[in-house]
Amino acid sequence: MITCIAVDDEPLALRQIVSYIEQTPFLKLKGKFTNALSVSSFLKEHAVDLLFLDIHMADLNGVELAKTLVNPPIIIFTTAYSEYAIEGYKVNAIDYLLKPIEYVDFLKASNKASDFISKTQQTETEIKKKDEFLFIKSGQQHIRINFKDIKYIESQKEYICIHLITGGEPVKTLLRLKNIEDILPKAHFMRIHRSFIVNLNHIVTVERNRIIYSRKEFIVVSDTYQEEFKTFLNNNFFN
């Protein structure tokens, strides 16, 4: 069963999404909201798998809301404006539904989310963790990765890319960033952006709010994580 919430500031549109959720056997509604700020508060206290989110809302549009969520669920955007589709994919939405929404399109998007969740859960069982390393399933291979060799981890839609200090192509696997964050040693790894986790041991240069690895390779510390990152810097700063 996939838990989900629906968000739309138009009562009729919200009622339609709720109705579609209730007639879909593998979906379970955990809440419905007419404004984005209520959603943000709810998600701080409750975990859900899937978020049906209207883009064009009065207080805070759906794309802006998605960017503020620390550990967002999978998102399916709903919108009356087709030009917002590209914006939706920029925040890793798995799909978007163009209003007026037919049930067949709703079901298609929901099945897509369900398939992704199933594949992610299957991949999670393939992670074998030890004190100093883990095995990651990448394609048909199981690859051993030492924690000390990870430079940073990057989220790319439904995949993550593990960048190594040895260089070369990153290790790519079907997994959400939150899932690997939970098993990394907290003393050595920190999330500094909704799409990045860094190995603190390999940070050499910080300029303003950027971690710089080279002239062309750097990561911006987002506003949400700046306080925690500044605490790390202050605790390790010597005059």
Q: Residue 159: what pLDDT?
A: 85
CATH code at 2-123: 3.40.50.2300
* pTM, entire model: 0.60
176 close to 155: Cβ distance less than 8 angstroms = yes
DSSP, collapsed to helix, strand or coil, labels residue 34 as coil
Determine the 3-state secondary structure of 100 from DSSP: coil
Place of tokens 């579609």: 20
| Rounded Cα–Cα distance for residues 166 and 234 (Å) | 28
Query: Which pairing describes strands 150-156 and 95-98: parallel, antiparallel, or unpaired?
Result: unpaired
At residue 105, the pLDDT reads: 96
| 58: DSSP letter | S
pLDDT of residue 126: 56
Domain residue spans in the chain?
2-123, 128-235
- pLDDT per residue as tens digits for the range 148-196: 999 999 998 778 999 999 888 899 988 888 888 888 988 899 999 989 9
Q: Which residue carries 């605790």 as its tokens?
A: 235
DSSP-H helix ranges across the chain: 11-22, 36-45, 62-68, 85-90, 103-124, 177-181, 226-235
pLDDT of 82: 67
Pick out the chain residues at pLDDT < 70: 82-92, 121-130, 238-239
Helix or strand run (H / E) with residue 74: strand 74-79
Report the alpha-carbon distance of residue 225 to residue 89 in Å, rounded.
22
Q: Which CATH superfamily is domain 128-235 in?
A: LytTr DNA-binding domain (2.40.50.1020)
Residues 74 and 116: beta-carbon distance below 8 Å? yes
Q: How far apart are CA 122 and CA 139, in angstroms?
A: 13
Q: Do domains 2-123 and 128-235 have the same CATH topology?
A: no
Q: If you count them, how many residues does the chain have? A: 239
Q: Choose among 181, 162, 168, 8: nearest CA to 80.
A: 8
